[in-house]
Homo-oligomer: A and B are copies of this chain.
Protein backbone atom coordinates (compact mmCIF):
# COMPACT_ATOMS: atom_id res chain seq x y z
CA UNK A 1 0.00 0.00 0.00
CA UNK A 2 1.24 3.46 -0.86
CA UNK A 3 1.21 6.54 1.33
CA UNK A 4 -0.28 8.54 -1.56
CA UNK A 5 -3.79 8.11 -0.21
CA UNK A 6 -2.75 9.46 3.18
CA UNK A 7 -1.68 12.89 1.93
CA UNK A 8 -4.68 15.01 0.96
CA UNK A 9 -2.30 17.25 -0.98
CA UNK A 10 -0.93 14.40 -3.11
CA UNK A 11 -2.51 15.76 -6.31
CA UNK A 12 -0.70 19.05 -5.85
CA UNK A 13 2.75 17.50 -5.55
CA UNK A 14 5.09 17.19 -8.50
CA UNK A 15 6.39 13.76 -9.59
CA UNK A 16 9.77 14.28 -7.89
CA UNK A 17 8.14 15.14 -4.56
CA UNK A 18 5.86 12.12 -4.77
CA UNK A 19 8.79 9.88 -5.58
CA UNK A 20 10.79 11.28 -2.64
CA UNK A 21 7.94 10.76 -0.19
CA UNK A 22 7.14 7.27 -1.42
CA UNK A 23 10.70 6.03 -1.34
CA UNK A 24 11.54 7.66 2.00
CA UNK A 25 8.47 6.41 3.89
CA UNK A 26 9.40 3.43 6.05
CA UNK A 27 6.53 1.16 7.04
CA UNK A 28 6.48 0.14 10.69
CA UNK A 29 4.28 -2.02 12.83
CA UNK A 30 4.13 -1.45 16.59
CA UNK A 31 2.41 -3.56 19.21
CA UNK A 32 -0.06 -2.02 21.65
CA UNK A 33 1.86 -0.58 24.58
CA UNK A 34 5.06 0.25 22.63
CA UNK A 35 6.73 3.57 23.38
CA UNK A 36 7.07 4.75 19.79
CA UNK A 37 8.73 8.06 20.49
CA UNK A 38 10.44 9.47 23.52
CA UNK A 39 10.98 13.23 23.56
CA UNK A 40 14.46 12.95 24.91
CA UNK A 41 15.57 10.46 22.25
CA UNK A 42 16.24 11.17 18.59
CA UNK A 43 14.06 13.06 16.22
CA UNK A 44 12.71 10.07 14.29
CA UNK A 45 10.53 11.64 11.65
CA UNK A 46 6.95 12.31 10.67
CA UNK A 47 4.49 9.58 11.59
CA UNK A 48 1.70 8.85 9.12
CA UNK A 49 -0.84 6.55 10.74
CA UNK A 50 -2.17 3.79 8.52
CA UNK A 51 -4.24 2.06 11.19
CA UNK A 52 -4.40 1.81 14.96
CA UNK A 53 -4.18 4.45 17.66
CA UNK A 54 -1.36 6.44 19.26
CA UNK A 55 -1.32 8.69 22.30
CA UNK A 56 0.88 11.78 22.57
CA UNK A 57 1.58 12.93 26.11
CA UNK A 58 3.89 15.03 28.22
CA UNK A 59 5.68 13.90 31.34
CA UNK A 60 6.51 15.83 34.49
CA UNK A 61 9.80 15.55 36.37
CA UNK A 62 7.94 13.42 38.90
CA UNK A 63 6.69 11.04 36.22
CA UNK A 64 3.13 12.32 35.99
CA UNK A 65 1.56 12.27 32.55
CA UNK A 66 -1.06 14.23 30.63
CA UNK A 67 -2.46 13.13 27.30
CA UNK A 68 -2.10 15.97 24.80
CA UNK A 69 -3.79 14.40 21.81
CA UNK A 70 -4.43 11.10 20.11
CA UNK A 71 -3.60 10.02 16.59
CA UNK A 72 -5.86 7.83 14.50
CA UNK A 73 -5.89 6.47 10.97
CA UNK A 74 -4.79 9.14 8.45
CA UNK A 75 -3.41 11.45 11.15
CA UNK A 76 0.08 12.83 10.79
CA UNK A 77 2.34 13.58 13.73
CA UNK A 78 4.84 16.40 13.31
CA UNK A 79 6.29 16.47 16.79
CA UNK A 80 8.08 13.17 16.36
CA UNK A 81 10.11 15.21 13.84
CA UNK A 82 10.53 18.22 16.09
CA UNK A 83 14.12 18.88 14.99
CA UNK A 84 12.62 20.00 11.66
CA UNK A 85 11.77 23.31 13.25
CA UNK A 86 13.98 25.15 15.68
CA UNK A 87 10.99 26.81 17.34
CA UNK A 88 9.53 23.55 18.63
CA UNK A 89 10.80 23.83 22.17
CA UNK A 90 8.94 21.10 23.99
CA UNK A 91 9.07 17.37 24.21
CA UNK A 92 6.33 14.83 23.95
CA UNK A 93 6.26 11.06 24.19
CA UNK A 94 4.11 8.83 22.00
CA UNK A 95 2.86 5.35 22.76
CA UNK A 96 0.72 2.89 20.86
CA UNK A 97 -2.68 2.44 22.48
CA UNK A 98 -3.58 -0.23 19.94
CA UNK A 99 -1.54 -2.30 17.51
CA UNK A 100 -0.58 0.32 14.96
CA UNK A 101 0.69 0.42 11.40
CA UNK A 102 2.44 3.61 10.41
CA UNK A 103 4.97 5.10 8.04
CA UNK A 104 7.94 7.06 9.26
CA UNK A 105 9.20 9.82 6.97
CA UNK A 106 12.70 10.79 8.12
CA UNK A 107 12.88 14.36 9.45
CA UNK A 108 15.65 15.47 7.07
CA UNK A 109 13.70 14.29 4.01
CA UNK A 110 10.51 16.01 5.06
CA UNK A 111 12.33 19.18 6.09
CA UNK A 112 13.96 19.44 2.70
CA UNK A 113 10.63 18.90 0.89
CA UNK A 114 8.97 21.50 3.07
CA UNK A 115 11.69 24.06 2.47
CA UNK A 116 11.24 23.83 -1.27
CA UNK A 117 7.49 23.42 -1.57
CA UNK A 118 4.92 25.99 -0.49
CA UNK A 119 2.22 23.33 -0.83
CA UNK A 120 3.94 21.00 1.64
CA UNK A 121 4.84 23.85 4.00
CA UNK A 122 1.26 25.08 4.07
CA UNK A 123 -0.06 21.59 4.61
CA UNK A 124 2.35 21.22 7.52
CA UNK A 125 1.03 24.49 8.87
CA UNK A 126 -2.50 23.15 8.81
CA UNK A 127 -1.44 20.00 10.67
CA UNK A 128 0.26 22.07 13.35
CA UNK A 129 -2.75 24.40 13.63
CA UNK A 130 -5.03 21.46 14.16
CA UNK A 131 -2.84 20.08 16.98
CA UNK A 132 -2.66 23.59 18.39
CA UNK A 133 -6.45 23.71 18.45
CA UNK A 134 -6.57 20.43 20.36
CA UNK A 135 -4.12 21.76 22.92
CA UNK A 136 -6.11 24.99 23.35
CA UNK A 137 -9.21 22.87 23.91
CA UNK A 138 -7.30 20.94 26.56
CA UNK A 139 -6.28 24.14 28.36
CA UNK A 140 -9.91 25.23 28.46
CA UNK A 141 -10.88 21.86 29.89
CA UNK A 142 -8.20 21.94 32.55
CA UNK A 143 -8.85 25.53 33.56
CA UNK A 144 -12.57 25.70 33.51
CA UNK A 145 -14.09 22.27 33.69
CA UNK A 146 -14.38 20.51 36.99
CA UNK A 147 -12.87 17.06 37.31
CA UNK A 148 -16.18 15.19 37.39
CA UNK A 149 -17.15 16.65 34.01
CA UNK A 150 -13.75 15.87 32.50
CA UNK A 151 -13.85 12.31 33.78
CA UNK A 152 -17.38 11.74 32.48
CA UNK A 153 -16.29 13.05 29.07
CA UNK A 154 -13.21 10.83 29.14
CA UNK A 155 -15.23 7.67 29.87
CA UNK A 156 -17.64 8.45 27.06
CA UNK A 157 -14.78 9.09 24.61
CA UNK A 158 -13.11 5.83 25.60
CA UNK A 159 -16.35 3.99 25.07
CA UNK A 160 -16.57 5.37 21.51
CA UNK A 161 -12.93 4.46 20.78
CA UNK A 162 -13.33 0.95 22.18
CA UNK A 163 -16.83 0.53 20.75
CA UNK A 164 -17.93 -0.93 24.05
CA UNK A 165 -19.65 0.02 27.29
CA UNK A 166 -17.17 -2.12 29.23
CA UNK A 167 -13.86 -0.29 29.44
CA UNK A 168 -10.78 -2.31 30.25
CA UNK A 169 -8.66 0.47 31.68
CA UNK A 170 -7.00 0.89 35.06
CA UNK A 171 -7.50 3.90 37.32
CA UNK A 172 -3.76 4.51 37.01
CA UNK A 173 -4.03 4.82 33.24
CA UNK A 174 -6.94 7.21 33.47
CA UNK A 175 -4.89 9.31 35.90
CA UNK A 176 -2.06 9.38 33.34
CA UNK A 177 -4.39 10.60 30.64
CA UNK A 178 -5.82 13.34 32.79
CA UNK A 179 -2.72 14.52 34.59
CA UNK A 180 -3.95 13.71 38.07
CA UNK A 181 -3.30 11.17 40.82
CA UNK A 182 -4.80 7.66 40.84
CA UNK A 183 -6.56 8.32 44.16
CA UNK A 184 -8.44 11.26 42.65
CA UNK A 185 -9.68 9.07 39.80
CA UNK A 186 -10.69 6.23 42.13
CA UNK A 187 -12.60 8.59 44.39
CA UNK A 188 -14.57 10.07 41.50
CA UNK A 189 -15.27 6.67 39.94
CA UNK A 190 -16.60 5.46 43.29
CA UNK A 191 -18.87 8.49 43.35
CA UNK A 192 -20.08 7.73 39.78
CA UNK A 193 -20.78 4.17 40.91
CA UNK A 194 -22.70 5.33 43.97
CA UNK A 195 -24.84 7.39 41.59
CA UNK A 196 -25.44 4.29 39.40
CA UNK A 197 -23.77 5.83 36.37
CA UNK A 198 -21.12 3.10 36.19
CA UNK A 199 -20.29 -0.28 37.71
CA UNK A 200 -16.73 -1.03 38.82
CA UNK A 201 -15.40 -4.57 38.64
CA UNK A 202 -11.84 -5.85 38.66
CA UNK A 203 -9.99 -4.15 35.79
CA UNK A 204 -13.17 -2.93 34.17
CA UNK A 205 -15.48 0.08 34.22
CA UNK A 206 -18.92 -0.50 32.83
CA UNK A 207 -21.06 2.39 31.70
CA UNK A 208 -24.59 1.96 33.03
CA UNK A 209 -26.24 5.33 32.54
CA UNK A 210 -24.84 6.92 29.41
CA UNK A 211 -27.42 9.72 29.39
CA UNK A 212 -26.48 10.96 32.84
CA UNK A 213 -22.78 10.80 32.01
CA UNK A 214 -23.44 12.81 28.86
CA UNK A 215 -25.44 15.38 30.77
CA UNK A 216 -22.70 15.64 33.38
CA UNK A 217 -19.98 16.02 30.76
CA UNK A 218 -21.61 19.01 29.08
Q: Which residues of A contact B (CB under 8 A)?
A: 58, 60-62, 64, 66, 68, 85-90, 114-118, 120-122, 124-133, 135-140, 142-144, 179
Question: Known contacts A118-B121, A135-B135; can you find 15 more A-B pairs with CB under 8 A?
Answer: A58-B139, A60-B144, A62-B144, A64-B143, A64-B144, A66-B143, A85-B129, A86-B126, A87-B129, A88-B133, A89-B130, A114-B122, A115-B118, A124-B125, A128-B132
Q: Is the CB of A66 within 8 A of B118?
A: no
A137 and B62 CA atoms in complex are apart in Å by 16
A62 and B140 CA atoms in complex are apart in Å by 12
* Among A60, A90, A132: residue with most chain B CB under 10 A: A132
Q: Is the CB of B121 within 8 A of A87?
A: no
Contacts of A131 in B (CB 8 A): 132
A135 and B121 CA atoms in complex are apart in Å by 22
A87 and B127 CA atoms in complex are apart in Å by 7
Contacts of A127 in B (CB 8 A): 87
Which of chain B's residues has its CB closest to A113's CB? Answer: B118
Contacts of A128 in B (CB 8 A): 125, 128-129, 132
Which of chain B's residues has its CB closest to A90's CB? Answer: B136
Q: Is the CB of B143 within 8 A of A142?
A: yes
Which of chain B's residues has its CB closest to A120's CB? Answer: B118
Contacts of A85 in B (CB 8 A): 125-126, 129
A85-B126, A88-B129 given; A142·B142 CB < 8 A: yes
Contacts of A116 in B (CB 8 A): 118
Contacts of A117 in B (CB 8 A): 118
Contacts of A124 in B (CB 8 A): 121, 125
Which of chain B's residues has its CB closest to A121's CB? Answer: B121
Contacts of A122 in B (CB 8 A): 114-115, 121
Q: Is the CB of B88 within 8 A of A132?
A: yes
A129 and B127 CA atoms in complex are apart in Å by 11
Q: Could you jot down 20 A-B contacts, CB within 8 Å?
A: A58-B136, A58-B140, A60-B140, A62-B144, A64-B144, A85-B125, A87-B126, A87-B129, A88-B132, A89-B129, A90-B132, A90-B133, A117-B118, A118-B120, A121-B121, A128-B132, A132-B132, A135-B135, A135-B136, A138-B139
